[in-house]
Amino acid sequence: MGIGFGRLMRDKDKARKGIDAAVTWSVYLLLFLLGIAVGTNADIINNFSRIGYTAFWLTIGAVGGSVLLAALVYHFFFKAGKGADYEG
């Protein structure tokens, strides 16, 4: 249903801008509510140092993996090669 609705709205710039803003603010609200849920959970607060250490390494791995994969995708799919159509 979402794809169908998106196809109907793709030529309506004003509606798309409103939908984009609504999605952005919905994400902000969900992150805020997630923060409240984490802050009120005693188990998470009591084990924050151990969870924080694990979260740090997970974050480093996720960011590093994303950067590596983005570099590979850029290199193989978007970087201009030195072929006949290369103007450089």
pTM of the model: 0.51
Helix (H, G, I), strand (E, B) or coil at 61: helix
Q: DSSP alpha helices (H): ranges in the chain? A: 2-9, 13-39, 42-46, 48-73
pLDDT digits (tens, 9 = 90+) for 24-69: 999 999 999 999 998 899 988 888 888 888 888 999 999 999 999 9
